[in-house]
Amino acid sequence: MERKQALVGTKDQEVFIEKVISINRVTKVTKGGKNLNFAALVVVGNGNGKVGFALGKAPEVAEAIRKAITSAKKRLVAVQLENTTIPHEVIGAFGSIRVLLKPASLGTGVIACLAIRSICDVAGIKNILTKILTKSSNPVNVVKATFQGLQSIKP
C-alpha cells in the first residue's frame, strides 16, 4: 500500500512517500466483552534522505494509518547517503535485535526484509545489503533497530 501525498500550505510542496509495513489486530478482553483495536506501523519519507516512522493505534484501520502518518511526518530524521547507498557498514541495535546494514555497489538493489526494504525505499536508498543478526524478526523492533543504525552513520 503505497501512497504519495503533497503537503498543503508549504512553500515548496514537499512530496512524501508513505508505506504501511504492518497492521496488527489487538483484542483486549474486559468484563463487558472484547475490545478490538488496530495498530499500524508506517514509514514516511521524501525519497531523498529524510525518513520517519510511527505506530498508530485506533479502533479502525484507516484511522490508525492516518494517525501513524501524521506522527511519522513530525518525527523525520536525515539519513546520510552516498550516491544511492550508505557510506559505510553499520550495525543497528534495539532491544535484542541487531541489524547489519552494508553499502552495495551500483546495480545490486535492496537486499532486505519487508520492513527494512520499506525504509530504504522511502529514504531513497537504492543499493544496500542487510541482514537481521538475531532470531526475532518483529517488524516494530526491526524498524527501530534500522533507524538506530541509519542515525549512527557518520558523514
- What's 2-77's CATH class? alpha beta
Buried b / exposed e across 110-138, counting CB within 10 Å, b at 16+?
Answer: bebeebbbbbbbbbbbbbbbbebeeeeeb
Q: pTM for this one?
A: 0.87
- For the chain, domain boundaries: 2-77, 79-151
Q: How far apart are CA 60 and CA 38, in angstroms?
A: 6
79-151 adopts what CATH topology? Ribosomal Protein S5; domain 2 (3.30.230)
Average pLDDT along the chain: 90
pLDDT of the residue at 104 = 94
**Cα 73–chain centre separation:** 12
pLDDT, tens digit (0-9, with 9 covering 90-100), for 34-55: 999 999 999 999 999 899 999 9
Do 2-77 and 79-151 have matching folds? Answer: no
- pLDDT of residue 17 exceeding 60, the answer is yes
pLDDT, tens digit (0-9, with 9 covering 90-100), for 109-135: 999 999 999 999 999 999 999 999 999
